[in-house]
Chains A and B, each alone.
Chain A
Amino acid sequence: MGMWFFLFTEILFFGGMFLLYSIFRYNYAQDFHAAAAEENIILGTINTVVLLTSSFTIALSIATMKRGEKISSIILQLATILMGVAFLVIKYFEWTAKINLGIYPDSPVLLALSQGEILFFGLYYVMTGLHGLHVLIGVVVISFMLYFTRRETINRKEYARLENTGLYWHFVDIVWIYLYPLFYLIT
């Protein structure tokens, strides 16, 4: 129950950013469309597939743990971690590509663009940045769960920590499910 409550707070936390996005998009619809064309839709789609699959694997890791299948659970947790890392690596490439083009907050290149585009990229960095931070935290936490699973402090009878970690990870996935169309598909 506690983890669900924490996720509710996260809904409001990210919600504030979605609020800004919706207002700015309403005010600058054309600019947002133009700016979104800069996004790499292939990388974005790959990242979506990666996260969706990682949700699948972590859900399975819990199911197998409940059945007492320690090895399967470990493999699945590991897979989830690797996919999380993959997500972050792809994100890194996306960000550096933009930065090399001179598009980052307060850059001269950015400030020369239209107001809506400045806002779009500001939102892009803030929202994917905070989301990425949450992915990173998730990867670290799942690694801890992996350690606990190996030591069997997470086992067939006591797996609440793993379940809660799963809930958190699914939430991070859901945030991306919304970020993806808003930044990549609105051309």
Chain B
Amino acid sequence: MEEKYTEDHAVATGTYAAVWLVLLILLATTIAMAKLRLLAQFSILGSLAIASLKAGLVLAFFMHLKYEGTFLKVMLTVALLALTLLIGLTFVDVWLR
């Protein structure tokens, strides 16, 4: 029993262009935030948050993740959770020494 291949979803050029523009806007935003020191000591969190938004857009649209099956989305989450766990548990050591 094979898993169903996802239907090949044709994404319109316009959608790609829109995503690209948003990515550039987000880039401008993150530079502005850094330069204007908008979030003070939380600036790294802000930068990472915007970076994650950008990454998410690339994943969802350019990499078609939005149109893929649940399994792939779940396993991507698992891989990211694994990395988070590794970094997190290491911090439990370093942070609380």
* Pick from A12, A52, A180: contact of B82, CB under 8 Å: A12
What's the minimum C-beta distance from B28 to chain A, rounded to whole angstroms? 9
Asked whether A170 and B62 contact (CB < 8 A) given A19-B86, A23-B90, the answer is yes
Say whether B87 contacts A56, CB under 8 Å. Answer: no
Kindly list chain B residues whose C-beta atoms are within 8 Å of the C-beta of A22: 87, 91
Q: Which residue of A lies closest to B48 (CB)?
A: A181
Give A179's nearest chain B residue, CB to CB: B51
Whether the pair A49, B24 counts as a contact (CB closer than 8 A) is yes
- Residues from chain B with a CB closer than 8 A to the CB of A177 are 51, 54-55, 58
Question: Which residues of chain A are within 8 angstroms of B31 by Cβ–Cβ distance?
Answer: 41, 45, 185
Query: Would you call the interface of chain A mostly helix, strand, loop, or mixed?
Result: helix
In the complex, A12 Cα to B83 Cα: how many Å?
6
State in angstroms the CA–CA spacing of A140 and B44 once bound together.
Answer: 34
Specify which chain A residues have a CB less than 8 angstroms from the CB of B72 in the assembled complex. Answer: 1, 4
User: A56-B17, A170-B62, A178-B55 given. 17 additional CB < 8 A pairs?
Assistant: A4-B76, A8-B76, A11-B79, A15-B83, A19-B86, A19-B90, A22-B87, A23-B94, A27-B94, A49-B24, A56-B16, A63-B11, A66-B8, A170-B59, A177-B54, A177-B58, A181-B50
